[in-house]
Every structure is written in C-alpha cells, then in structure tokens.
Chain A
Amino acid sequence: MTTSVVKKSSGFRRTWNRFKTYITKPQNAILLVLGIVLTISTIYPMFTIARDTVRLHPGSVDTQEKALESQVDALGTTLTTYNWTNLFTDTITTRVGRERVTRSVASIYLWTPLMNSVLISIFACFGAILYGGVFAYLVTRTNLRFKKYLSSIFIFPYIMPQWTLAVMWQNLFNSNAVTGGNDGLFVALFNLYMPKWWCEGLFPVSVVLAIHYAPFAYILIGGIFRNMDANLEEAATILNTPRWKIFLRVTLPLVKPAILSTILLVFSSAMGSYPIPHYLKLSTLSTQYVGMSSNRAGQASILAVIMMLFGFLILIVNQRTTSGRKNFTTVTGKSGQSSVVNLGAAKYIISFLFVLLTLFTGILPIILFAVETFLPNPGDYSFITHGIAGHTTTKWWLTAENVTENGMYGQKGILYNADIWNAFAGTFFVAICCALAAGTIGTLIGYCVSKNRRSKWASYVNNMAFLPYLMPSLAVGVAFFIFGSGAGIYNTFLLLILAGTVKYIPFASRSALNSMMQLSGEIEEAAIIQDIPWWKRMTRIIIPIQKTSIISGFLLPFMTCLRELTLFMLLCGQGKIITTMLGYFDEMGLYAFSSGINLILIILILVFNTIVNKLTGASIDSGIGGDS
C-alpha cells in the first residue's frame, strides 16, 4: 500500500517536474495558453453552426412539416434530422421552361452554388497567384521600371472593399441590349457591347476576385523572393543549369510555402465571398446561404458546414504537402545577397503592360469614384455624353441640410455627414484593435510553432489558429451573431473586435510562421548561450530581423478589417462601421456616397501606410521591393 502511494507520488512528481521544465520555456508556455484559448474560440463557432443544422427554426421549412409542427417551441431546442434528409433526399415539383419538372431539393439549393463556389475559388487562386506571383518576381528579382509606382498601385484593389470592383465592372460593361437596364460607360463612350458571360456570372466574378487577391499573393510571395539568397540560384547557374530548370527546381520550391499560404487564404476567402457574386449575379454557397436564411435556416447552416469541410480539406492538403523537410531556411546568420535578372529591352514593354493593367485595376476605379461624386444622378454621365458642364453637382459633398429630395434620401453631404464620419471612426477603432490583438497573437504563434517544429501540440495550435480563416466569413459572422445577441453585446465594438481578432489571427500567424521558418536557430542560440532573457531576444534579435513580415502580420488584419463586410454585416447595424454603411449606399444605388467613402478610405490607408513606412521602414508593399 505504502509502496503504491510512493510510486504514485513519484510518478506525479515526475510528470509535474516534466511539466515545469516544459513550461519554463517561453515558447511552450505561450503555446499552451494560446492552444486552450484558440480551441475555445475556434471550436465554439463551428459547434454553433453544426448544432444549427439539427435545430428546428420557427417559420422555416423544418417546422412546416406536419410531423414536426407539434414539437416546435420558441426556443427551437428540439433536435431533428429533417434539414439533412430534406436537403439530400427530398424532391420539389416546380417549373422550368413552362414544363412541370421534379427536381431534388439539393439540385436547387446546393449543387449549382457548390460547383460555382469551387470554380470561382480555383480560378481566383490561379489568377491571383499568376498575376500577383509574376508581379512579385518582376518587382523583386528583375530590373523592371517604375517599381515604386507599380508596387504602390498594385495593392489598391486589396485596399478597396471587394465589391467596389464588382460595381465598377457593372458600370463599365453593362448595357441595355445585353444585361437590361441602362448603358454602362463602354457603350456610352465607345458603343462597345460586351457579351453577357463577360458582364455577369462566373467569368467576371473570378476575374474580380483574382484582381482583388493578387496583391495578397504579391505580398506573401514577394516577401520570400526578397529574402531569398541568390547564392542558391547562382550555384545552379555555375553548374550550367538552364534558367527554366533553376526556376522550377530552386526558385519555385523556395516560394512554395508562400504559394501554398496564398492558395489557402485565397481559396477560403473566395469561397466565403458574398458581395462580388451578389452584385455580379452568380449563385454561390454564400449568396445561397443568405437567400435561404429566412425559409431554410437549418439548411443554410448545412451550406456553411460544407464550406467548413472544404476548409478542413485544404488544411489536410496543406499538411500533406508541407510535411517533412519541405520548408527551407533562407535567412541565416551568414551573409546573403540577391541578384537582379536583366529583362533587357523587354523591361519597357513589361513595365508598360503593368502600368496599363494597374491603371485599370488601381487608377481607373479611383478616377471613376471621384467623378461619380460629382454626377447629379448615379451613373448619369450626361456632362460627358451631352457635353453639358452644368450637369455636375457638389451636392453629395456639400449639402449641409437634411433633405430628402434630389436623391439625398435624408442624408447630408459627405463632408457634413456625422453618421459617415462616426462610421469611419468606428472602423478605425475596430481595425486597430483587431490588428494589435491578431498581430500579437499571430506573431507569437508563428514564433512558438517555428521553435517546436516537430511538436504535435505546436502543429495543433497552428492549425487551430488557422481554422477560423478556413471557415466562411458569413458562417463565423452567424456564430458570433448568435453569441453576441444572447450575451447582449450585439452591435457593440467588443463583438466586432472579438470576431475580427479570431478571424484574422491566421494572417499574422502565417506571415510570422513563413518568416520564422526561414530563420536559422543559430541566431537565437547565440543569445541563449549568453543568457539573454527571452523578451530581449525577441525585441532585439527576432523582431528586428523579421520586422517586415511581422509588421505585415499587423497590417494585413488592419487593412482587411478596414474593408471587411461579410464578417461584420451580421454583427452590427448599418451605421456602426464604414463598410456596412458603404454596403448600404451601394445596395441603395447611392454610388456617389459609396464612391466618396471609398476615396476617403483609400486615401486614409495610404496616409497610414506612409506614416508606418516613415516610422518603421515597413509598409504593406515596401518590404517586398516597392522601395527599391
């Protein structure tokens, strides 16, 4: 008996001592705490959505079934499998082309949106990586002209709320003859009628998403290109390896982690994107989710679950692809250098091509935004088409009274509109808080995981931190909406900051992990030998070396937060932050207000970026090559 107590006691002591030893390492302690916190903050929203698929929803199809009607209570606590069985096994009789047809419920509500979602996600990934990756290579590794200008302009589509490009697309290409409604700018100016597939549906949605996320690929891939030691490529050159082979065998494997990160982030974002398919008329899982939420609320949640499953699938693929020694150390204690590829005479042609492309994606929207704020009616370019200079107005900026006539809908002009400025202030507050919280947590995760590369717990924490990003923004929004309404914090900044932080940690953790993985352990080991405390090692060695990537980890949540709509649209009223207000103005067709707000938003971000650049030397793009 005594022996067994002693054995138990010594066993406990041994475990306790092992735990104490483990926890004394800062990276382990941080991992433990973050692992617990992230498990709760990540699992809870997923649980909420999953639970919703088996709940009854008063006023929804699951309570209209006679058998279930009697079980309904206002709390909706009764569980049912009806939503799953109805969606996947039941049929509906409807009409297509005047013929009576019987269709499965899933064919109406699931398969087509699912296929569209997958296709736009694949195309957006492909387009973003191709466009952003090529641009990143050109800026960082070649003697491209106008680098500073191009680098700054290239990120504009990412700064702008994504649906503004979609609205611009409509305003440019729609026509009365093809899409119905009035003629867009292309018809008005050039009498050019674009085909319907160009104006609405899969093609424009994919293109707009690719343009929107290309800066993302540029930032992630460019960061690697910039830090890459050219000695590796030069060694291959000395060995007489062809240039294409060097690119495929040396360069590409080195940027593979960044490409995979881009795929992970873009695929999930594209799949969860609501506004672009909404404006460009494509049925996707996210638009279907909103459309079904009144009459098929439980089945809408099944759509969210399916979107989440895709997230898991990508995560598994990522795990498989990056397992083993497929991450490369490119920043060491040794000196490194980067070489510049001479494009020769092609540099002018390529530079001109990119100036032209960025003109369309970065400059033209801004010009159109500016012009729109002086049009008497939305999209009314009569001052150009009829040459009447008087058909412009400053009412959208300067109206100081609350008037309902002339399209003002009771709104004061932008400069006098307290609601707009309050929404701006709200947005900046939320963005700063989210950036600080997500950036700090993400950086710590990146650091701790990179120090425990072979640890299963570290891998778990890393995956837990990344999972919220793989969940569609709408689904996360719904989960936080249910939580916020129950807790009485709906429409508060607290709820927005909580949701934003959880959702944006992956930006910072991926950015930090990518850079920390490149950091040789010998750099910190030298400091450890000299008994330098952890915080000092972080602030004096680690952070300064990877400053660019770490600040990117703060800037990305900040910027994303500034123009985020899908995540926040369910969590607050329309006047709380500027994107919900912007979305309201766009939906109402008050494009002058939304254009003015967009202009101000872009200017503010650029000012902010410049300030950060001056203070820290880092910026959204400068660390990549824009400053060279």
Chain B
Amino acid sequence: MKKLLSLVLALAMCLTMVSFAAAESVEDVIAQAQTMTLEELFQKAIEESNGKRFDAVGNSSRGKSVLPLFVEALQKIDPNYTLDYEGGWQQPKENKIFDQLTEDVNGSNHVMSMTLIQDGNQIQSKMLDTGLLLNFVPKDWLEAEGVAKENNENPLALQTLNKVFMFNNLGEKTYTNMWDFVREGEAPLFMGVNSELVGKNFLYMMTNDKYATIAKEAYEAWDGKNEEDDALIEDMKQDAEDLGLTGENVQYGLAWVYLWCEKYNEETDDGPICNTLVTTSAKDQAGLLVYSKLRSVEETAESSVNNITVAAYQDGYVGIGGYAYKHYLMLTKSSPLPWTSCALIAYMTTTQEGFAAWGKDMGGYAPVPACMQDHSNDGGEEFPAKNDRGYDWWLNEGKLVVEDPAYCASVSGAMSDWIDGIVAGK
C-alpha cells in the first residue's frame, strides 16, 4: 500500500514538473509574438482561446466594441472560433485600474489578460518598474509605413489624444499667448489635477526643458507681462532647486504651472467644460479640454461650436496649444491568454478596422497612419474649429506637450506635493 502511494505521489510530481516545464511564460510568448505577422498571431489566438473566457481592463470603454470585430476577424480563418467576452471588458472608476491590475497579477486567481491604460506616470512607477505589465510591439506595427515610433513604442501606444486650449469668443478678451490663460482675473476650466491624473502629468512635463523653453519664448513675446511676473519667474529658480529640477529655463515652466494651479476652475469632466464654453452666457471663459468634445455640440440659439475658438488655430498664437496623453496597450505578467492578447493588440494597432472605435473621432491619433481616418474637414467652412489639423501639425505647430512616462515618474514625487500645496492654498 505504501509503495503504491509512493508511486502515485512520484507520478503526480513528475506530471506537475512536466506541465510546468511545458507552460510558456508570458515573456516567452511576447518574445515569439514579436516576430510574427498578424495572420500568424490570429492562428495562435485561435489555438489558444477557442471557446474560452477573455477578460481585460481599460480606461476606455470602447475596448468592448472592438472585441466582436476581433472575433469576426478570427472567424474568417476558423468559422467555428468562439470567444466568451460578454462583460469581460471592465472599466474601473477612480484610478482603481492600477490597484485592480496589481491585485490580479499578485493574487492567486489571474483573470485579466491585457489592459488599455492611461497615465504614463503611474504606468511607469506602478506597472513597468514593478514588472506587472509587459510591453508587446507587433512586427507589423514596427514595419508599417510612416509609423511614428518616437514616444509610442515603449510602452506601445494605441493612440495619442490631445487636450487643447479653447475660449468663448463672444466676449472682449483675447488669448493669443499661452500666458494669457494665467493672467490676473482668469479662471480657466480644467479637470481637477487629482481627478484626472494625465492633467497632472501635463504639469510635470511643463518643467521639462523642452517645454519650459517654449514657455520662456512665449513669455518673452507676451505683452501682458509685468514686474511681478518677472520677479515670480526669478523666484522660481529656488523652487526648481528645491524640487531637484534641472534645465536652463525650468523656472518659466514652473511659474506657468504655479499660475495655472492657482487660477484654474475645477470641473468634473471635459464634457461639462465643453457644454459650458459653447454657450452664449460663457463670455470670456476659457478652458483646457479634449478636442474631440466639440463633435458633441448640437447647434441652438444658446450653444454653438462657433462660440469657441481653438487658441492654437489663431494666426500668431504663441506657446503651447495644449497637451497630449496616450492610451497604452500592454499584457499582464500573468495573462491567462497571452497569444490572444498579442493578436488583439496587433489587430487594434495595425488595422483601420481594429482602430475604428477610436479613429472615428478627431483629436485622437494612431501611430500607424494607415489606421487613421481623415478629420481635416469635419466642420467644413461652417465650423472651422472642428477641422482637425492632424497629429504632425499639433505636435509641431500646435506645440503640444507630450507625456513622457519616465520623466513624469522621475519628478512626480516632489512636484505632486508642490502642486497639491498650491491647489489646497487657493
């Protein structure tokens, strides 16, 4: 009896070891997947997930609309392929996506296969530095014609979104310089820095010398400056030193951030900001909001897209026109369906069909030009504010401040408190 028991236990141990040896880690899968074409990845996904359950988590609810298209694409190869994704695309609230991913990877029951996530700062410090999320770059993406690799490859960006300065043009005020938004008496509408953290990342990025230099040039060209402002900028050198920030012109960026934090009027979302700015009663009101919100306005006697002006579209506008943040796609370290996740990521980032859920909006830009839809004439001559000038224009002419996860993570420790102190002292 004892011998039999020992034999059974030994057999069980051997089987366990074999099964462990045979199982591929997510890192292994990614390494192999990065050498495969979309069609090859589709094949692997079919082998792996046919009839199985797929769960993912994202900041954008549109992820769920791409899943049926993805399954359809796989069914063209294998008509019997099915994937149980009903209710599987989750969108947690209140920044809990990071906690959820952490618990999922560190817990004993791994559910989430992949994520579509924003906020470069937290992605870097909570997900990449800890190894909880893994990056995958599709071969087809790397080889795509005209792909914008800079700032989009690691982590892999699904899209870049822009938030731009706008103002209600029915009043007397003019906004031709980025410093006009922080002059005395202004209260621009903006989402709270701690309710949407990409906004705080934008403020961190303003201390990067590239953008601080733009702030300096704009300040020098600004006719609204006075001695007090000069003194403030000079004084900011000490703050920069305390915060451990280096860079020749960092004091300009820091001064602008201080004035912005002191003046902005907090709103819960960009939707209400847009609804406010386009009304006739919002004279002389400005805001910083997602560009694509303009598509949601219905023309009435009270509200019109023509009541607002996109600051950077004005001839002679000086300084940054807004900021850009990204939606990143990554696999969890414990992804139950890594091949399927890689295939889905490749589908979303290299095909127009896969990107369609996001591509239909102006103000959102895929790194692969072939995925994009043209929005350069969405408003025509009637509503010129809705004619999107495109990614390259916004980056070069519009001077968007682009989120850099590594930089944000490196300065957030000190900067976050400094900003919170200003906001709390308003």
Binds B, one of A126-134, A213-221, A343-351, A402-410: A402-410
**A376 contacts B99, C-beta separation under 8 Å:** no
**A74 contacts B132, C-beta separation under 8 Å:** yes
Binds A, one of B67-75, B101-109, B313-321: B101-109
Contact of A294 with B122 at beta-carbon distance under 8 Å, contacts A92-B418, A96-B422, A573-B92 already known = yes
**B297 contacts A95, C-beta separation under 8 Å:** no
Contact of A382 with B424 at beta-carbon distance under 8 Å, contacts A181-B265, A294-B194 already known = no
Binds B, one of A1-9, A147-155, A386-394: A386-394
Contact of A182 with B282 at beta-carbon distance under 8 Å, contacts A58-B126, A94-B422, A488-B109 already known = yes
**B298 contacts A98, C-beta separation under 8 Å:** no
Distance in angstroms between the alpha carbons of A180 and B189 in the assembled complex: 8
Chain A 480-535 interface residues, beta-carbon cutoff 8 Å to B: 481-482, 485-488, 490-491
Answer whether residue A36 sits at the interface, using C-beta atoms and an 8 A cutoff: no
Binds B, one of A245-253, A285-293, A332-340, A547-555: A285-293
Distance in angstroms between the alpha carbons of A93 and B189 in the assembled complex: 26
Closest partner residue, chain A, to B360 (CB atom): A404
Distance in angstroms between the alpha carbons of A436 and B105 in the assembled complex: 35
Most chain B CB atoms below 10 A, which of A59, A570, A586: A59
- In terms of DSSP, what is the predominant structure of the interface of chain A? loop
**B130 contacts A74, C-beta separation under 8 Å:** yes
User: Which chain A positions have C-beta within 8 A of B235?
Assistant: 98, 100
The residue from B111, B126, B129, B421 contacting A95, defined by CB atoms under 8 A apart: B421
**B93 contacts A482, C-beta separation under 8 Å:** no
Binds B, one of A234-242, A275-283, A304-312: A275-283
The residue from A74, A295, A377, A587 contacting B268, defined by CB atoms under 8 A apart: A587
The residue from A109, A187, A382 contacting B300, defined by CB atoms under 8 A apart: A382
Closest partner residue, chain B, to A392 (CB atom): B300
User: Which chain A positions have C-beta within 8 A of B44?
Assistant: none
Besides A291-B192, A490-B104, 13 other A-B contacts (C-beta < 8 A): A59-B124, A74-B132, A95-B425, A98-B235, A105-B417, A181-B272, A292-B194, A381-B302, A404-B361, A482-B99, A485-B100, A587-B269, A589-B271
User: Which chain A positions have C-beta within 8 A of B93?
Assistant: 569-570, 573-574, 580, 583-584
Answer whether residue B197 sits at the interface, using C-beta atoms and an 8 A cutoff: yes
Distance in angstroms between the alpha carbons of A76 and B187 in the assembled complex: 40
Q: How far is the CB of B92 from chain A (nearest CB, A)?
A: 6
**B269 contacts A588, C-beta separation under 8 Å:** yes
Query: 9 A–B contact pairs at CB < 8 A?
Result: A92-B421, A94-B417, A98-B228, A98-B258, A112-B424, A176-B283, A182-B275, A407-B296, A487-B107
Distance in angstroms between the alpha carbons of A406 and B275 in the assembled complex: 12
**B111 contacts A488, C-beta separation under 8 Å:** yes
Give a binary string over B97-133; 1 marks a CB under 8 Å from any A CB, 0 the rest: 0111011111111110000000101101110011110
Chain B 400-417 interface residues, beta-carbon cutoff 8 Å to A: 409, 412-413, 416-417
Answer whether residue B5 sits at the interface, using C-beta atoms and an 8 A cutoff: no
User: Which chain B positions have C-beta within 8 A of A76?
Assistant: 102
**A574 contacts B61, C-beta separation under 8 Å:** yes
**B303 contacts A382, C-beta separation under 8 Å:** yes
**A574 contacts B91, C-beta separation under 8 Å:** yes
Answer whether residue A64 sits at the interface, using C-beta atoms and an 8 A cutoff: yes
**A491 contacts B298, C-beta separation under 8 Å:** no
**B420 contacts A108, C-beta separation under 8 Å:** yes
Distance in angstroms between the alpha carbons of A63 and B187 in the assembled complex: 35
The residue from A101, A481, A488 contacting B96, defined by CB atoms under 8 A apart: A481
Answer whether residue B279 sits at the interface, using C-beta atoms and an 8 A cutoff: yes
**B285 contacts A180, C-beta separation under 8 Å:** yes
Answer whether residue A14 sits at the interface, using C-beta atoms and an 8 A cutoff: no
Answer whether residue B195 sits at the interface, using C-beta atoms and an 8 A cutoff: yes
User: Which chain B positions have C-beta within 8 A of A590?
Assistant: 271
Q: How far is the CB of B346 from chain A (nearest CB, A)?
A: 24
Answer whether residue B397 sits at the interface, using C-beta atoms and an 8 A cutoff: no
Contact of A488 with B107 at beta-carbon distance under 8 Å, contacts A587-B269, A588-B271 already known = yes
Answer whether residue B149 sits at the interface, using C-beta atoms and an 8 A cutoff: no
**B107 contacts A278, C-beta separation under 8 Å:** no
User: Which chain B positions have C-beta within 8 A of A89?
Assistant: none
Q: 8 closest pairs, A vs B, by CB?
A: A94-B421, A589-B271, A488-B109, A485-B103, A59-B125, A382-B302, A96-B425, A59-B126
Q: How far is the CB of A319 from chain B (nearest CB, A)?
A: 34
Chain B 232-251 interface residues, beta-carbon cutoff 8 Å to A: 232, 235, 238-239, 242
User: Which chain A positions have C-beta within 8 A of B282?
Assistant: 176, 181-182
User: Which chain B positions have C-beta within 8 A of A388?
Assistant: 300-301
User: Which chain A positions have C-beta within 8 A of B296?
Assistant: 405-409
Closest partner residue, chain B, to A291 (CB atom): B194
**A181 contacts B425, C-beta separation under 8 Å:** no
Chain A 51-77 interface residues, beta-carbon cutoff 8 Å to B: 58-59, 61, 63-64, 74-76
**A93 contacts B266, C-beta separation under 8 Å:** no
Distance in angstroms between the alpha carbons of A436 and B361 in the assembled complex: 46
Answer whether residue B94 sits at the interface, using C-beta atoms and an 8 A cutoff: yes
User: Which chain B positions have C-beta within 8 A of A103?
Assistant: 421, 425
Q: How many inter-chain residue pairs (CB < 8 Å) link A and B?
A: 233
Q: How far is the CB of B326 from chain A (nearest CB, A)?
A: 17
Closest partner residue, chain B, to A93 (CB atom): B242
The residue from A108, A481, A588 contacting B99, defined by CB atoms under 8 A apart: A481
**A376 contacts B109, C-beta separation under 8 Å:** no
Most chain A CB atoms below 10 A, which of B100, B109, B187, B421: B421
Answer whether residue A379 sits at the interface, using C-beta atoms and an 8 A cutoff: yes
Answer whether residue B90 sits at the interface, using C-beta atoms and an 8 A cutoff: yes
**A95 contacts B103, C-beta separation under 8 Å:** no
**A290 contacts B94, C-beta separation under 8 Å:** yes
The residue from A74, A491, A569 contacting B106, defined by CB atoms under 8 A apart: A74
User: Which chain B positions have C-beta within 8 A of A490?
Assistant: 90, 100, 103-104, 111
Distance in angstroms between the alpha carbons of A573 and B86 in the assembled complex: 13
Q: How far is the CB of A339 from chain B (nearest CB, A)?
A: 51
The residue from A179, A376, A580 contacting B298, defined by CB atoms under 8 A apart: A376
**B238 contacts A589, C-beta separation under 8 Å:** no
Closest partner residue, chain A, to B236 (CB atom): A95
Contact of A482 with B425 at beta-carbon distance under 8 Å, contacts A180-B265, A182-B282, A406-B296 already known = no
Answer whether residue A183 sits at the interface, using C-beta atoms and an 8 A cutoff: yes
User: Which chain A positions have C-beta within 8 A of B126?
Assistant: 58-59
Distance in angstroms between the alpha carbons of A281 and B426 in the assembled complex: 12
**A569 contacts B94, C-beta separation under 8 Å:** yes
Q: How far is the CB of B422 from chain A (nearest CB, A)?
A: 6
Answer whether residue B174 sits at the interface, using C-beta atoms and an 8 A cutoff: no
Closest partner residue, chain B, to A289 (CB atom): B94
Closest partner residue, chain B, to A488 (CB atom): B109
Chain A 573-600 interface residues, beta-carbon cutoff 8 Å to B: 573-575, 580, 583-584, 586-590
Closest partner residue, chain B, to A379 (CB atom): B275
Answer whether residue B295 sits at the interface, using C-beta atoms and an 8 A cutoff: yes
User: Which chain A positions have C-beta within 8 A of B272?
Assistant: 181, 378, 588-589
Q: How far is the CB of A17 from chain B (nearest CB, A)?
A: 44
Chain B 263-281 interface residues, beta-carbon cutoff 8 Å to A: 265-269, 271-276, 278-279, 281
User: Which chain A positions have C-beta within 8 A of B281?
Assistant: 176, 182-183, 187-188
The residue from B106, B119, B285 contacting A176, defined by CB atoms under 8 A apart: B285
Closest partner residue, chain B, to A569 (CB atom): B93
Closest partner residue, chain A, to B268 (CB atom): A587
Contact of A181 with B189 at beta-carbon distance under 8 Å, contacts A64-B413, A410-B62 already known = yes
User: Which chain A positions have C-beta within 8 A of B267?
Assistant: 181
Distance in angstroms between the alpha carbons of A304 and B187 in the assembled complex: 32
Q: How far is the CB of B413 from chain A (nearest CB, A)?
A: 4
User: Which chain B positions have C-beta within 8 A of A64?
Assistant: 412-413
Distance in angstroms between the alpha carbons of A409 and B267 in the assembled complex: 19
Q: How far is the CB of A364 from chain B (nearest CB, A)?
A: 21
**A487 contacts B109, C-beta separation under 8 Å:** yes
Q: How far is the CB of A413 from chain B (nearest CB, A)?
A: 14
Answer whether residue B95 sits at the interface, using C-beta atoms and an 8 A cutoff: yes
**A182 contacts B276, C-beta separation under 8 Å:** yes
User: Which chain A positions have C-beta within 8 A of B121?
Assistant: 59
Give a binary string over A75-110; 1 marks a CB under 8 Å from any B CB, 0 the rest: 110000000000000001111111011010100110
Closest partner residue, chain B, to A174 (CB atom): B276
